[in-house]
């Protein structure tokens, strides 16, 4: 079972990807993890990617796909995988499809975790991070025992810059601009599945399992 996770920043797609991976015993694959592993192991692909990353440039789609296809060759991918954070654009999706097709394979499901922007802004702007140990909380869903103080180490909590409402809104705008074409792309291939991400985390997962099968 080969699955792609779609969803705006803060929609909870990463959490659901991990749950899917655990239930179906398939790896949860993120491009960031692949980059780090290849650079750490000093592979040829890793060295090529590092040249771009060191200059602060995007790694070309062809190289990203090559890294991902290399990851698919590992034994834990024999029953499938959950891709999280890739593809992000139509050219990436097309390059991935082409590479899979050469192996006689294809993506089975593209799962879009739908959460309205206003919900995401509320979720993310309510998050607080500890300046000491890095623990994260939420003022509504996971508050500390003492307001503004970390339960773990007692240090102060802050609202990180990337969780500020204006920054979150900007990230969402960029996401919609780049990702809506992907939604249309996978809809046209009849593999897009939309789930309501505003529901309880376990209910969202249950709805995904109903689609994927027990």
SS3 49: helix
Q: Pairing state of beta strands 157-158 and 192-196?
A: unpaired
SS3 193: strand
Token pair, residue 175, equals 């996401």
Q: How far apart are CA 124 and CA 128, in angstroms?
A: 9
pLDDT tens-digit map of 23-70 = 999 999 988 788 888 999 999 999 999 998 888 777 888 899 999 999
Alpha-carbon dihedral angle through residues 120, 92, 97, 102, given to the nearest 10 degrees = -150
pLDDT of residue 101: 95
Distance CA 103, CA 169 (A): 40
Q: Is 127 a catalytic residue?
A: yes
Closest CA to 8 of 153, 143, 183: 183
80-90 residue pLDDT tens: 999 998 898 89
Provide the total of helices (H) and of strands (E) in the chain, helices listed first: 8, 8
Write down the catalytic residue from 48, 88, 122, 164.
88
Cα–Cα distance, 162 to 166 (Å, whole number)? 9
Give Cβ neighbours of residue 108 (< 8 Å, ≥ 6 apart).
1, 2, 3, 80, 191
Question: Catalytic residue at 171?
Answer: yes
Instruction: Give every strand in the sheet of 109-114, ordered side by side.
Output: 28-30, 81-84, 2-7, 109-114, 192-196
So what's the pLDDT on residue 205? 97
Residue of 2, 13, 19, 128 with catalytic role: 13
3-state helix vs strand vs coil in the chain, percent to 5: 50, 15, 35
Structure tokens at 134: 């890095």
| pLDDT tens per residue, range 140-193 | 889 999 999 999 999 999 999 889 999 999 989 988 888 889 999 999 999 999
Q: Which CATH number fits domain 2-27+74-115+168-212: 1.20.1250.20, 3.40.50.300, 3.40.190.10, 1.20.1440.130?
A: 3.40.50.300
Map out the domains of the chain as residue ranges. 2-27+74-115+168-212
For residues 1 and 78, give the distance between their C-alpha atoms in angstroms, rounded to a whole number.
9
| pLDDT exceeds cutoff 90 at 17 | yes
Per-residue pLDDT at 169? 92
Integer CA distances (angstroms), 96 to 2, 20, 23, 116, 164, in order: 12, 21, 25, 28, 34
For the cut 90, the answer to whether the pLDDT of residue 214 exceeds it is: no
pLDDT digits (tens, 9 = 90+) for 189-211: 999 999 999 999 999 999 999 99
| Catalytic annotation, pick one of 160, 178, 189, 199 | 160
Q: Mind listing the pLDDT tens digit for each residue in 98-131? A: 999 999 999 999 999 999 999 999 989 999 999 9
Q: What per-residue confidence (pLDDT) applies to 179?
A: 82
Catalytic site residue from 2, 71, 123, 127: 127
pLDDT attached to residue 198: 94
């Amino acid at each position: 079972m080969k699955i792609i996770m779609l969803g705006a920043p803060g929609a909870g797609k990463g959490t659901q990807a991990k749950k899917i991976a655990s239930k179906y015993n398939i790896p949860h694959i993120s491009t960031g993890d692949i980059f780090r592993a290849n650079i750490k192991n000093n592979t040829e692909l890793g060295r090529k990617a590092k040249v771009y990353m060191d200059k602060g440039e995007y790694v070309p789609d062809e190289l990203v796909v090559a890294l991902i296809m290399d990851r698919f060759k590992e034994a834990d991918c024999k029953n499938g995988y959950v891709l999280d954070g890739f593809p992000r654009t139509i050219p990436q999706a097309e390059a991935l499809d082409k590479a899979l097709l050469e192996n006689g394979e294809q993506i089975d499901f593209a799962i879009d975790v739908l959460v309205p922007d206003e919900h995401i802004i509320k979720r993310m702007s309510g998050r607080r991070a500890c300046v000491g140990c890095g623990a994260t909380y939420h003022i509504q869903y996971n508050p500390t025992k003492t307001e503004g103080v970390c339960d773990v180490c007692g240090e102060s909590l802050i609202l990180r810059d990337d969780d500020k409402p204006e920054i979150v809104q900007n990230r969402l705008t960029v996401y919609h601009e780049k990702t809506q074409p992907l939604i249309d792309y996978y809809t046209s291939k009849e593999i897009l599945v939309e789930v309501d991400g505003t529901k309880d985390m376990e209910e969202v997962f249950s709805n995904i399992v109903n689609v994927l099968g027990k």
